[in-house]
A and B are shown apart, each in its own frame.
Chain A
Amino acid sequence: MRLPKNARYAVAASASLAVALTACSGSGSGGAATGTWDKDATVNIGSLYEPQNLDNTAGGGQGVTEALNGNVYEGLFRLTDDGKVENLLAKDYKASADGLTYTFTLRDGVTFHSGKDVTSADVKYSLEKVLADDSQSARKSNLQVVKSIATPDAHTVEVTLSKKSISFVYNLSYVWIINSRAKNLKTQEDGTGPYTLGKWTRGSALSLDRYPGYWGDAAANKKVVFHYFKDATALNNSLLTNAVDVVTSEQSPDALDQFTSNANYKVSDGDSTTKLLLAFNDKAKPFTDVRVRRAVSAAIDDKKLLASVWGGYGKLIGSMVPPTDPWYEDLTEVNAYDVTAAKKLLAEAGYAKGFSFTLDTPNYDPHPTAATFIKAQLAKVGITVRINTITPDEWYTKVYKNHDFTATLQEHVNDRDLVWYGNPDFYWGYDDKQVTRWVEQAEEASTTAEQTALLKKVNRKTAEDAASDWLYLYPQIVVAGTKLSGYPVNGLNSQFFAYDIKKKG
């Protein structure tokens, strides 16, 4: 952005020269692509999630991740749309034999948008920013293992951990590398990504401009504009009228018919990481009894619930693990829908005549619908559900903080969040010594294979114990005009990489 003018021209000129050479060489894919898409296109993206501010350590909401992760800011590593961790600003890294020291080598020739070179001091600053007392980063607790950060030279960072942490590199994919001299990060930016921040009109839109000095492959479009909507219907209408080219995440299947039946649009049904849970309080009667939890899980027809809420979209899951997590296993057959088995389990547990419990239900979709369905289903095995509607604030205080509930409904959005079952103080109160140990061992594992094997055990054990009832996995539905290609379809952790999006002229 702040490159001297002539330097900018030089970059542009060499870029077009490279394109011309590729075209002449006649290599099929490259040549075809240049002919069919507009390199200087503006891509309009429709979203329901406007950021509150532009700083991912200041509680800006999922809109911050959506608009800026990978687009404006980059980490040492990148979590790709299919859940893999790749080197990004780190050229290479090495872990010591004891797994306590990580040495990162930074990529050469990377500059911030302000023009300054990226150095190890910036990396140290960025990591400390996430760990700071006032940081609201979602990864702060995972990164508490960082004991010290050393910068032996401008391109080397050495991080010492207080104990082994196999997820350390993965967690670093959430840490933006920011210029240590940058100011006012809530409204401005100074990252290294393929775009610079254009204009942010609060309540309406945020635009990104292609950064000519980007170290990697230049973005496939010139400008990206995120348009923010409060209402899903208005969002869909703007897609129909071509005011936006793509919608990042549809929240209801019923508006989709107008796109599936129209040849100008493509509806992608990707994998999200958002799970809908009927979370029992495993420390409150009668859910202290595994048989009761299994009975309730078996008495609810998840397939029918999913069909009701999402039509033909979404997936069934038998545990907390979505298919994009490395330790995924299909456990839908564990405690599957079986009313006879449910009745038998209830009788064994001494509840042959059933019982009644209060279900704390957040007052927004899909929870009331799911609660109604669960009430009807459990009535068939003699269990009476009292639905208590609560606001998100009440949920946070009553359920999450005070653990004052018997059962509740909640959506859990993050990937790799199975490990919360290893924490007996978490709101659902699942307390199994063996599981806690496996989770700890997995984090301190030396290889990902070892980690994966241990977490698979956790996965199966929690599923068999019906620690919670995992009702279904939300779909991630992206709708785009057919002129568009290269957009992410999984929206992992609400990321939305815009740099590969190609728009036909």
Chain B
Amino acid sequence: MTPADLLTRAPAPARRRGRSVTLAVGVTLAGLIALLALVSLVWLPYATDDTSGGRLAPPGDGHLLGTDKLGRDLFTQLMTGSRIAVEAGLGSVAIAALIGVTLGVLAAFAQGWLDDTLAAFLDILIAFPTLLLAMLVVAARSATLGSAVLAIGLAQSAVVARLVRILVKRVLAEDYVTAARTSGTSWPRTVAGHVLPNIWPTLVVNLALQFGLAVLAEAGLSYLGLGAPPPNASWGRMLQEAQATFTTAPAGALAPGVLLVLLVVGVNLIADGLRDTLDPATRGRRS
């Protein structure tokens, strides 16, 4: 509990429970996928290139969810896919946070023409479709998971930067910050001591939402063949490959689809729960 919490009216018990349920469900769902991803690093039911399973074997009989066209175990691919999804989410968010926060703080402090230029640049970048940006990056760097993560991270950094810029401007307008600055506190110390502590709750919630979007974006790119190259079992690629066999072997398309939903919904629930807990602006609004 943050110090700020103590200052506000204590929330009603019912609302507190609702908030913790949201967070708990979110953590459970996303945690499940994270666990799959972690386990995949040390153990997989089959080798990823083991094609001994037979074409489109049904679930059961040594293969929990059956096999794909090439005879590879679906559950193994799902686990590898979890790892790729989590990697894509974390990687993109890390890039978005790094570039976004830097640009946002810079723009907020810059004032004048530099602020205007940066703001205009960010608006253009936001208006630019993520998918198109990703295709450009892929064309320049060849299709790998790294390219996809870079493209998604770049696109998201604009969103983060715009948010950070507004948040920081708001903090800078506070009387105590003006006092600190007029008393000679250098701007790096202002950022570290006053700005970041005040903006992080909103920032974290936003980054959690961006994580979900990044996972979806990576699946979309892989679906188009622009994400992690084969034989990496990205969920998007699995969906694409299973599309033609959906009527005869639905598990191949259902399983990655369900996991994708679980992870994204889970992360969004976490973001919701965090927002209710951390963000002073929404706290108490629903009571």
Closest-by-CB residue of B relative to A309 is B69
Provide the residues of chain A in CB contact with B71, threshold 8 Å: 308
Task: Give the complex CA separation of A255 and B231 in angstroms.
Answer: 24
Q: Is A335 an interface residue (CB 8 A)?
A: no
Provide the residues of chain A in CB contact with B230, threshold 8 Å: 361, 368-369, 371-372, 375, 387, 389
Provide the residues of chain A in CB contact with B70, threshold 8 Å: 308, 369, 372-373, 376
Task: For the complex, count residues of B whose C-beta is within 8 A of A.
Answer: 25
Determine which residue in B49, B50, B225, B245 has the highest number of CB atoms from chain A within 10 A of its CB, and name it.
B225
Provide the residues of chain A in CB contact with B35, threshold 8 Å: none
B224 touches A254 (CB 8 A): no
Known contacts A308-B70, A363-B143; is-contact A255 B244 (Cβ 8 Å): yes
A304 touches B244 (CB 8 A): no
Task: Give the complex CA separation of A390 and B141 in angstroms.
Answer: 11
- CB contact between A365 and one of B51, B229, B244, B247 (< 8 Å): that residue: B244
B69 touches A388 (CB 8 A): no
A255 touches B69 (CB 8 A): no
B247 touches A308 (CB 8 A): no
B111 to chain A, nearest CB (A): 44
A157 to chain B, nearest CB (A): 48
A389 touches B69 (CB 8 A): no
Task: Give the complex CA separation of A388 and B143 in angstroms.
Answer: 7
Using C-beta atoms within 8 Å of the partner chain, give the interface range for chain A: 20 to 34
Q: Is A134 an interface residue (CB 8 A)?
A: no
- CB contact between B229 and one of A252, A308, A387 (< 8 Å): that residue: A387
Task: Give the complex CA separation of A341 and B96 in angstroms.
Answer: 52
Docked complex: A330-384 residues within 8 A CB-CB of B: 361, 363-365, 368-369, 371-373, 375-376, 379
Task: Give the complex CA separation of A462 and B214 in angstroms.
Answer: 48
Q: Is A232 an interface residue (CB 8 A)?
A: yes
B244 touches A254 (CB 8 A): yes
B237 touches A368 (CB 8 A): yes
A376 touches B49 (CB 8 A): yes
B231 touches A387 (CB 8 A): yes
Known contacts A387-B229, A388-B143; is-contact A369 B241 (Cβ 8 Å): yes
B226 touches A389 (CB 8 A): yes
Q: Is B55 an interface residue (CB 8 A)?
A: yes
A308 touches B55 (CB 8 A): yes
Q: Is B248 an interface residue (CB 8 A)?
A: yes
Task: Give the complex CA separation of A233 and B248 in angstroms.
Answer: 12
Q: Measuring CB to CB, which residues of chain B are less than 8 angstroms from any residue of chain A?
A: 49-51, 55-56, 69-71, 139, 142-143, 224-226, 229-231, 237, 241, 244-249
Q: Known contacts A369-B69, A369-B70, A388-B229; can you find 5 more A-B pairs with CB under 8 A?
A: A254-B244, A254-B249, A307-B55, A387-B230, A390-B143
Q: Measuring CB to CB, which residues of chain A are less than 8 angstroms from any residue of chain B?
A: 232-233, 251-252, 254-255, 257-258, 304, 307-309, 311, 361, 363-365, 368-369, 371-373, 375-376, 379, 387-390, 394
Instruction: Identify 23 residue pairs between A and B in the complex whose beta-carbon atoms are under 8 Å apart, listed by A's number.
Output: A232-B244, A233-B246, A252-B245, A254-B244, A255-B244, A255-B248, A307-B55, A308-B55, A309-B69, A361-B230, A365-B244, A369-B70, A372-B49, A372-B70, A372-B230, A372-B231, A375-B231, A376-B51, A376-B231, A387-B230, A388-B229, A389-B226, A389-B230
